[in-house]
């Protein structure tokens, strides 16, 4: 069995920056365990598998795996898959079947190996729980209790398909100092997958509104996490006007030397969140063929 694959850097226009992704095409013959083994072989934060769609109007079905587990939804695989499909099929709209539901992305080609994709969240973010153990969070993150909180933002658990502990911190200097304390991590960040998305506002940066770092999911630190940015939309929306649209830019991965730029959009009407979207660029940096034998 031979399977073509492409390697991309997502949430960037520049090779060897952003969040790496493997996209494996023609994956219909693979068993679940084989997909998991291939994801472990690539050993990237996520590997996405493209399969024939169930709906005739849809472009592809997606299966998304970390090296350790399958995910129902993830942002950077969705962006990367949309760019691959947009480039290969020469379309400007891509309909992708994910476990969470149908995801439609708009695609714009930049050149023969890069493009931009924006998609509407298949599931709007919802608040799952507050986070009140400030001392515990500070210890888990290696910062002071007084560093937690940013303006009106307070810690909470949100999910737009994958749950994240959202922890606002005072400024970008605190964000840079975060150092994971594994001895208390899972006790403090106890919800599913134990993932913490630490973020702050960046009024001093003229082209960026927010900065974030993501820790957990068995990945250590992740350079660019679209599903966490999707969850963050829920908390951001709680602190905006009752009606209107917000368009924000979030940076992630700078502290790792893999800078990512994530586009966030959401809209409220009469106090209710009615739309959320994530966008970003991706560039193909390599391609090859998996040879799995007979």
Cα separations in angstroms, 251 against 133, 212, 245, 294: 27, 6, 20, 44
The Cα 273–Cα 242 span in angstroms is: 9
> How many angstroms from the chain centroid is the CA of residue 290?
26
The Cα 117–Cα 221 span in angstroms is: 24
From the candidates 34, 46, 204, 205, give the one annotated as an active-site residue: 46
E strands, 131-256, where? 156-159, 163-168, 196-201, 210-215, 221-222, 244-252
- Which sign does the torsion angle of CA 248, 232, 70, 72 carry? negative
By CB neighbour count within 10 A (0-12 exposed, 13-18 middle, 19+ buried), where does 293 fall? exposed
Q: Is 97 a catalytic residue?
A: no
Confirm if 19 and 47 have CB atoms less than 8 A apart.
Answer: no
Pairing mode of beta strands 163-168, 196-201: parallel
CA angle 74, 194, 27 (to 5 degrees): 30
> 63: closest CA among 29, 86, 16?
29
Task: Give me the active site residues, please.
Answer: 46
């Amino acid at each position: 069995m031979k399977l073509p694959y492409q390697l991309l850097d997502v949430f960037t226009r520049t090779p060897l920056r952003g969040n790496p992704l493997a996209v494996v095409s023609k994956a219909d013959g693979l068993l679940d365990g084989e997909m998991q083994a291939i994801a472990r072989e690539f050993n990237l934060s996520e590997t996405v598998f493209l399969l024939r769609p169930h709906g005739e109007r849809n472009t592809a079905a997606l299966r998304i795996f970390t090296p350790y587990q399958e995910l129902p939804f993830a942002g950077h695989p969705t962006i990367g898959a949309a760019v691959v499909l947009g480039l290969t099929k020469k379309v400007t709209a891509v309909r992708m079947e994910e476990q969470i539901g149908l995801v439609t992305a708009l695609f714009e080609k930049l050149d023969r190996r890069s493009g931009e994709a924006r998609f509407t969240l298949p599931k709007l973010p919802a608040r799952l729980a507050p986070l009140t153990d400030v001392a515990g969070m500070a210890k888990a993150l290696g910062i002071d209790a007084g560093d937690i909180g940013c303006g009106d933002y307070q810690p909470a658990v949100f999910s737009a398909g994958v749950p994240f502990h959202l922890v606002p911190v005072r400024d970008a200097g605190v964000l840079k100092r975060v150092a994971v304390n594994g001895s208390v991590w899972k006790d403090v960040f106890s919800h599913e997958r134990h993932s913490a998305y630490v973020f702050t506002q960046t009024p001093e940066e003229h082209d960026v509104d927010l900065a974030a770092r993501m820790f957990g999911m068995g990945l250590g630190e992740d350079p660019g996490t679209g599903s966490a940015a999707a969850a963050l939309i829920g908390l951001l929306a709680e602190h905006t006007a009752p009606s209107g649209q917000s368009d924000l830019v979030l940076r992630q991965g700078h502290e790792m030397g893999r800078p990512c730029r994530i586009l966030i959009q959401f809209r409220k009407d009469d106090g209710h969140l009615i739309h959320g979207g994530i966008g970003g660029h991706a560039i193909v940096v390599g391609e090859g063929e998996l040879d799995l034998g007979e």
